[in-house]
């Protein structure tokens, strides 16, 4: 394999692994903040225990998220130096702003939260986890603005052989960036909700800490329910934007080869990229793709053949990943909608609880599939329409990258196993049996 | 103003690295000397707890220093990070393992489990200290980069005597700095051992610093800027005086002032090198025309202005709340307190 492919695999592996841990922290930080706030307001000890119980799971995820995040920042320079040089004026500044505004805040106050139970008033302590939640989500805003710029570059001029910032405001306010943000953050909240529901379901099935886990389950349900439905509506709008901004990605998502009006939606097919056609189309409904993308049955949708072969993304992977994401998205809405009716009789609904327990992996799959659509569907561009991925890679020896890729896979696999083991252990252990002994000045 | 922007960012870039070394130097150093200062499991818990509330916030200064290199000097970021690929990867893996150590070590009650993570703490602290020192010394000396900005060396090119001296100086100075950090956070025997180790390491720091400063005169162009403006000699003079002050405070068992003097040593040593580099960020050892400089590798004036506004607004806020955290956790640690926290985390 050449340096380009190895570097792509390394970036994919690093991002994939990073995003196994980050989404949970985005949503769970908010849930913990709400739990602790309810405790401060009402004095209900269950919510204090809940903040501490979910806090343990949060801290493991956060730690792995942080250390794997550094890798990503460094990798732009190590593996994509030509990209860094070409767009650093815009892209680099967004990353630097993210560090200054968000990373300091979340890292500093999470430590205060974890070690400050005795040192702060209950209100000040709760404020710390709110700051962590705010900062984590703020960091998602900036990193997704950066990603959106790669998907749809705006506010720049090409000058002196590189892209230079022309309008900072345009970069941070472009609607596509906020579409990507809402889509990703909703996915992260759904994931956090499902993890909380799944772990709670485990204990409810065993009739342990029923009151405690019913409260947690309902909070996870509320979060996941709201954002599952929001995600479907927003996802539809988002796809409409993709149709306009990244026509090659949309065509690959739907495996549409020929430009046509009344473009069909096909439930399932097998793309045959070599011969530019599809095999085994099942459930082909004419006009639906035109309708979904442009709100008009007659609208023309560009097919892949409208673009030179070297400007088309890999079709099969993009198509399949999109199908997986959409199907799971609807499933989340269905499962949380059922939850709405089960919420007052959870312990009497063992089947539903079992389904929710075994659903924990699903949002993880959906989120990774979503990133595959975003990133593979953008190929061959690293900055859509401006710079190709193959022009962006560092001048390295393949052996260097092969060794580091192997090391990443080995280290990350071990870390992943340990993190999973610890989260599982804490999840099964359940909350502290009794409220912590009250000492003077103690929360 | 526009001509000044690059210079302002060059200075901020140097200051960010200096602050990072000053803060995380405590953690990297204490991690390195842990096997020497901590004799029992109770000791080790205190050592970890002396760093736990701070290490992550400290490490963000590294992320910011990296981010600012990317944002303000993308050309330098591209050349430096791809050129030093292997040492950077080693630093990354070391920091990854050190970082998760803080989260994982206390979570399973088994001495073998803890031993593994203790090993990662030591390696994960020693290796970045060494490699950062090697990298910066080579930066001061110049890297073999060609006209395309492509690094024409290998990992072993960096392991020249001057680079190794820089690495050892970093390890020694951080080890002393970290030992002093421990003395500010503990009492009794552990504090005494920290102080004793700081005193033992100090002569080594002195010798390495003298070697490094003399070798810099022979092997680098760092002194050119100083000879052109002799007032700048105040910076290396500060480094030397601060190092002497560190030893005097140690003798007085004034641990906080000793740590402060050691911090000043680290900051002024870093600035000595960075200011000597100006206007280069990476001097090319092949041809001075190939060097990455403030002029040829910086971002556009607009980006530098926006970044400056962000930095001037938010960095003081960051400094304010990080200082607040240090006051919040200022008291010396006891076994009781650590045991209490363990029950909760």
Q: Is residue A408 part of a domain?
A: yes
Q: By C-alpha distance, which of A355, A71, A357, A89 is closest to A201?
A: A357
Write phi, then psi, for B145 (nearest 5 degrees).
Answer: -105, 140
**pLDDT tens profile A261-312:** 888 888 888 888 888 888 887 878 888 888 888 888 888 888 888 889 889 9
| Same domain (yes/no): A187, A280 | yes
What burial class does residue B323 get, using C-beta atoms within 10 Å of its C-beta: 0-12 exposed, 13-18 middle, 19+ buried?
Answer: exposed
Which one, of A221, A133, A147, lies nearest residue A184 by Cα?
A147
Spatial distance between the Cα atoms of B43 and A150, rounded to a whole number of angstroms: 49
ipTM greater than cut 0.85: yes
The shortest C-alpha distance from A79 to chain B (Å) reads: 6
Is the residue at A363 inside a domain? yes
The answer for residues whose C-beta is within 8 angstroms of residue B37's C-beta and 6 or more apart is B30, B43, B47, B179, B182, B190, B193, B194, B197
Q: Are residues A23 and A102 in the same domain?
A: yes
Query: Are A117 and B306 inside 8 Å of each other by CB?
Result: no
Residue A17 has pLDDT above 70, yes or no: yes
A241 and A197 fall within a common domain: yes
Cβ pair B209, B239 in contact under 8 A: yes
- Burial class of residue A434 in the structure, from the number of CB atoms within 10 Å of its CB (0-12 exposed, 13-18 middle, 19+ buried): exposed
Instruction: Tell me whether B74 touches chain A (CB under 8 Å).
Output: yes
Secondary structure letter of residue A296 according to DSSP: -
Domain assignment present for residue A46? The answer is yes
- Mean pLDDT score of chain A: 90
Closest residue, chain A, to B64 (C-alpha): A99
Same domain, A382 and A404: no
Residues of A in contact with B104 (CB under 8 A): 60, 63, 418, 422
Average pLDDT of the residues in A77-96: 92
Mean pLDDT of A387-401: 90
When pLDDT is averaged across residues A215-219 and rounded to a whole number, the result is: 94
Q: What is the pLDDT of residues A98-141, one digit of tens each?
A: 999 999 999 999 999 998 888 889 999 999 999 999 999 999 99
Is the pLDDT score of A317 beyond 60?
yes
Question: What is the SS3 string spanning chain B?
Answer: CHHHHHHHHHHHHHHHHHHHHHHHHHHHHHHHHHHHHCCCHHHHHHHHHHHCCCHHHHHHHHHHHHHHHHHHCHHHHHHHHHHCHHHHHHHHHHHHHHHHHHHHHHHCCCHHHHHHHHHHHHHHHHHHHHHHHHHHHHHHHCECECCCCCECCCHHHHCCHHHHHHHHHHHHHHHHHHHHHHHHHCCHHHHHHHHHHHHHHHHHHHHHHHHHHHHHHHHCCCHHHHHHCHHHHHHHHHHHHHHHHHHHHHHCCCHHHHHHHHHHHHHHHHHHHHHHHCCEEECECCCHHHCEEHHHHCCCHHHHHHHHHHHHHHHHHHHHHHHHHHHHCCCCCCHHHHHHHHHHC
The answer to whether residue A166 sits within a structural domain is no
Q: Are residues A202 and A307 in the same domain?
A: yes
- Dump pLDDT digits (tens) for B283-294: 888 888 888 888
Compare CB distances from B81 to A70, A74, A425 and report the shortest one's residue: A74
- Looking at residue A10, what is its pLDDT? 94
Hey, are the CB atoms on A415 and B96 less than 8 Å from each other?
Answer: yes
Does a structural domain hold residue A338?
yes
The per-residue pLDDT for range B231-285, each reduced to its tens digit, is 999 999 999 999 999 999 999 999 999 999 999 999 999 999 999 998 998 888 8
Q: What is the pLDDT of residue B148?
A: 84
B64 and A107 within 8 Å at the Cβ level: the answer is: no
**Contact between residue A108 and residue B57 where contact means Cβ atoms under 8 Å apart:** yes
- Does B74 sit within 8 Å of A67, measured CB to CB? no
Give me the number of domains chain A comprises. Answer: 2
Q: Residue B133 corresponds to which tokens in the numbers above?
A: 């020192």
Does B68 sit within 8 Å of A63, measured CB to CB?
no
Q: Is A154 part of any domain?
A: no
DSSP codes, A129-177: HHHHHHHHHHHHHHHHHHHHHHHS--SEEEETTEEEES-HHHHHH-HHH
Are both A299 and A192 inside the same structural domain?
Answer: yes
What percent of chain A is modeled with pLDDT above 70? Answer: 98
Q: Are A73 and A44 members of one domain?
A: yes
| Same-domain check for residues A238 and A363 | yes
Q: Contact A394/B107, CB-based, under 8 Å?
A: no
Give the structural domain span for A105: 1-140+394-424
Interface membership of B77 toward A (CB under 8 Å):
yes
If asked whether residues A406 and A310 sit together in one domain, one would say no
Selected residues 37-66 of chain B with any CB under 8 Å from a CB in chain A: 52-54, 56-57, 59-60, 62-64, 66
Are A127 and A276 in the same domain?
Answer: no
Residues of chain B falling short of pLDDT 50: 345
Token pair, residue A60, equals 């493991």
Domain identity same for A15 and A124: yes
Q: Which residue has the tokens 């906080």?
A: B256
Q: Note whether B319 contacts A: Cβ–Cβ < 8 A.
A: no
Q: Which residue has the tokens 């056609």?
A: A277
For residue B9, which of B196, B287, B279 has the smallest C-alpha distance? Answer: B279
Residue A160 falls within a domain, yes or no?
no
Whether A136 and A189 map to the same domain: the answer is no
With respect to residue A431, please indicate whether it lies within any of the assigned structural domains.
Answer: no
> Is residue B311 less than 8 Å (CB to CB) from chain A?
yes
């Amino acid at each position: 394999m050449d340096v380009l492919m190895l570097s792509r695999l390394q970036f994919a592996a690093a991002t994939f692994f990073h995003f196994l841990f980050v989404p949970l922290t985005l949503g769970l930080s908010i849930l913990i903040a709400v739990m602790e706030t309810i405790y401060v307001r009402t004095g209900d000890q269950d919510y204090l225990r809940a903040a501490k119980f979910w806090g343990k799971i949060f801290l493991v995820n956060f730690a792995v998220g942080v250390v794997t995040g550094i890798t990503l920042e460094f990798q732009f320079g190590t593996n994509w130096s030509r990209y860094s040089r070409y767009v650093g004026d815009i892209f680099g500044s967004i990353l630097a702003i993210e560090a200054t505004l968000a990373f300091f805040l979340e890292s500093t106050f999470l430590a205060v939260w974890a070690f400050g139970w005795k040192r702060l008033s209950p209100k000040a302590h709760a404020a710390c986890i709110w700051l962590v939640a705010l900062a984590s989500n703020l960091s998602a805003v900036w990193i997704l603005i950066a990603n959106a710029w790669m998907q749809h570059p705006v506010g720049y001029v090409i000058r002196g052989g590189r892209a230079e910032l022309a309008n900072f405001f345009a970069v941070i306010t472009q609607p596509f960036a906020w579409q990507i943000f809402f889509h990703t953050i909703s996915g992260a909240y759904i994931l956090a909700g499902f993890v909380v529901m799944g772990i709670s379901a485990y204990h409810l099935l065993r009739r342990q800490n029923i009151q405690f886990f019913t409260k947690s389950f309902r909070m996870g349900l509320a979060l996941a329910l709201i954002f599952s439905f929001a995600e479907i509506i927003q996802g539809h709008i988002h796809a409409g934007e993709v149709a306009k901004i990244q026509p090659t990605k949309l065509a690959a998502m739907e495996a549409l080869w020929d430009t046509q009006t009344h473009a069909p939606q096909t439930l399932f097919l097998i793309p045959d990229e070599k011969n530019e056609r599809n095999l085994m189309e099942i459930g082909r409904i004419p006009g639906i793709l035109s309708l979904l993308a442009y709100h008009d049955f007659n609208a023309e949708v560009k097919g892949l053949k409208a673009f030179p072969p070297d400007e088309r993304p890999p079709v099969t992977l993009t198509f399949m990943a999109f199908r997986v994401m959409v199907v799971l998205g609807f499933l989340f809405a269905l499962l949380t909608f059922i939850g709405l009716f089960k919420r007052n009789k959870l312990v009497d609904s063992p089947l539903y609880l079992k389904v929710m327990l075994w659903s924990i992996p699903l949002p993880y799959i959906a989120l990774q599939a979503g990133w595959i659509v975003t990133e593979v569907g953008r190929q061959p561009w690293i900055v859509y329409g401006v710079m190709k991925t193959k022009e962006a890679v560092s001048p390295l020896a393949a052996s260097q990258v092969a060794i580091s890729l192997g090391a990443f896979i080995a280290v990350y696999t071990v870390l992943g196993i340990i993190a999973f083991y610890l989260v599982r252990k804490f999840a099964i252990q359940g909350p502290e049996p009794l409220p912590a002994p009250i000492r003077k000045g103690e929360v | 103003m526009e001509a000044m922007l690059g210079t302002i960012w060059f200075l901020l870039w140097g200051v960010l690295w200096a602050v990072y070394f000053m803060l995380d130097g405590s953690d990297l150093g204490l991690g390195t000397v842990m096997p020497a200062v901590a004799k029992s499991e109770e000791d080790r818990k205190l050592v970890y707890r002396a760093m736990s509330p701070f290490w992550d916030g400290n490490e963000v200064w590294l992320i910011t220093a990296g981010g600012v290199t990317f944002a303000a000097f993308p050309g330098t970021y591209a050349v430096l990070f791809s050129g030093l690929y292997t040492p950077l990867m080693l630093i990354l893996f070391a920091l990854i393992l050190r970082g998760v150590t803080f989260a994982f070590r206390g979570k399973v009650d088994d001495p073998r489990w803890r031993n593994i993570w203790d090993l990662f703490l030591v390696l994960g602290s020693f290796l970045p200290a060494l490699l950062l020192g090697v990298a910066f010394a080579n930066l001061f000396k110049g890297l073999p980069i060609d006209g395309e900005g492509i690094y024409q060396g290998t990992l072993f090119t960096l392991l020249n005597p001057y680079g190794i001296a820089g690495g050892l100086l970093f390890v020694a100075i951080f080890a002393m700095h970290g030992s002093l950090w421990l003395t500010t956070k503990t009492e009794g025997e552990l504090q005494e051992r920290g102080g004793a180790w700081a005193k033992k390491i100090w002569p080594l720091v002195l010798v390495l610093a003298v070697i490094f400063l003399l070798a810099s005169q022979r092997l680098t162009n760092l002194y050119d800027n100083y000879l052109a403006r002799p007032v700048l000699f105040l910076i290396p003079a500060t480094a030397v005086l601060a190092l002497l002050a560190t030893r005097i405070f140690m003798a007085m068992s004034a641990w906080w002032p000793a740590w402060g003097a050691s911090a000043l040593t680290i900051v002024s040593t870093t600035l000595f090198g960075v200011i000597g580099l100006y206007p280069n960020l990476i001097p090319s050892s092949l041809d001075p025309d190939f060097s990455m400089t403030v002029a040829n590798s910086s971002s556009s004036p607009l980006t530098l202005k926006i970044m400056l506004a962000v930095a001037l607004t938010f960095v003081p806020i960051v400094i304010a709340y990080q200082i607040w955290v240090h006051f919040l956790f200022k008291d010396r640690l006891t076994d009781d307190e650590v045991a209490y926290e363990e029950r909760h985390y």
